[in-house]
Amino acid sequence: MHPLVHRVITGDKRALARALTLIENDEAERRALLEGFYPYSGRAMVVGMTGSPGAGKSTLVDQVIALVRSKGLSVGVVAVDPSSPFTGGALLGDRVRMLRHSTDAGVYIRSVGSRGSLGGLGQATRDMLYALEAYGCDVILLETVGVGQSELDVMTVADTVVLVLTPGAGDAIQTAKAGIMEIADVFVVNKSELPGADALVRELQLMLHDKRSFREDWKNPIIRTNAVHGDGIADLWLAVEQHHRHMEEGGHLLARRRQRHREEALRLVEAAFARYLSERAEQDADWRRALLDNLADNPYQTAEKILEDLPWIRLRSGNDSVL
C-alpha cells in the first residue's frame, strides 16, 4: 500500500491534499494511489451540480454543504473551474463562495481546472472522487465548469445529477436541446424570485409531460430555490435523497456504477493506445514519412498505410466494424 493511502483512509487531510495533487498532475504515483483507494469506492453519495455559468451553482453548493453538515454527514466538494487555453491555469475561485466551511473538519473543498476538457469536468476529476471516498466523505458534491450543452460528463460520474436553471437566461431553450434535458435527475429553478420563474417552471413541466419515457423510471422533480437566502434547499436535498433511494431500491445505482466501471476501464485502454500512437508517430520512420512527407495522399490513404502495421484494426467504412 502506498503510504499516502494509509494516511488518507485514517483521516489525514494534508495527505488527502497531497494525493489529490498527485492525481491531478498525473504523477508516477497516480496508479498506486488509485489502486489503493478503489476498494473504498461506492461508499459516498455523489451529486453532480451542473448548469450554465452564472446560474448560482456555487451558492447552491454552499447552502447544500450547510444542510448536509447539519445532518452529521461529512462532505467533499470538487469544483471545476475553466482553464486558460494559453497557460492551462484557472482562477479556482469557487472556494471563495464557500469560505464559511473552510474551518469545518467535516468538509473538504477542492477546486480544479478543467484543463481543456470539454465535458464540464477536469480530466482527473473521476479519479479524485476515489480519494475523497477513501477519506471517508459521506456525500461528494461535484460542481461542473458550466459550459452548457457539452457538459454531459457529469452523468457518467454522479449518482444524481442536478441541473440548475435560471429565469430570463435562455435556459428554457437550452432544456429543449438534445443532451441537457436527458442528463438531469432533478431540475432546479434558482433565483426563483425573478420574473420569468413561473414561465420556466411551466415550460419544464410541459417538457416532462411530453416525455414518452423516463430514464430508470424516475420522474424528474422541479425544485424552486433562492440560493442566496437558502430558500428551497431542504426541498432540493429531499429530492436528491429520494432519487438516491429510488436508484438503490430499483437496482439502478448498481447498474450505473457497473457502466461507469466499464467506461473508466475503456478510457484507460484508449489513453494507452493514444500514448502508443503518439510515441510511434514520433519514432517510426515509415509513419513519420506517411504523416509528414507524403502530402499527395489524402488523410484516409495515410491512415490506411499506418494501419498496415496494425492489421487487427481497419478504418470504419459504412457499417463495417472497426476491428
Q: How do residues 247-301 score in pLDDT, each as one tens digit?
A: 999 999 999 889 888 988 898 899 899 999 999 999 999 898 889 887 778 888 8
pTM value is: 0.83
Instruction: List C-alpha distances in Å: 69 to 10, 131, 211, 240.
Output: 20, 20, 36, 15
**Range 56-73 average pLDDT:** 95
* 192 contacts 222 by C-beta, under 8 angstroms: no
End-to-end CA distance of the chain: 38
**Where is pLDDT greater, at 267 or 314?**
267
Instruction: List C-alpha distances in Å: 26 to 39, 127, 273.
Output: 20, 10, 17
Look at residues 77, 18, 25 and name the one whose alpha carbon lies nearest to residue 2.
18
Mean pLDDT taken over the chain: 84
| Superfamily (CATH) of domain 42-249 | P-loop containing nucleotide triphosphate hydrolases (3.40.50.300)
Domain parsing of the chain, residue ranges:
42-249
Query: Given this model, what pLDDT does residue 257 score?
Result: 87
Q: Given pLDDT bands bounded at 50, 70 and 90, which one contains residue 317?
A: low
Look at residues 183, 160, 187 and name the one whose alpha carbon lies nearest to residue 172.
187
- Residue 116 clears pLDDT 90, i.e. is over it: no
Helices (H), the chain: 3-9, 13-24, 30-37, 57-70, 125-135, 171-176, 180-183, 197-210, 233-249, 252-283, 285-288, 299-307
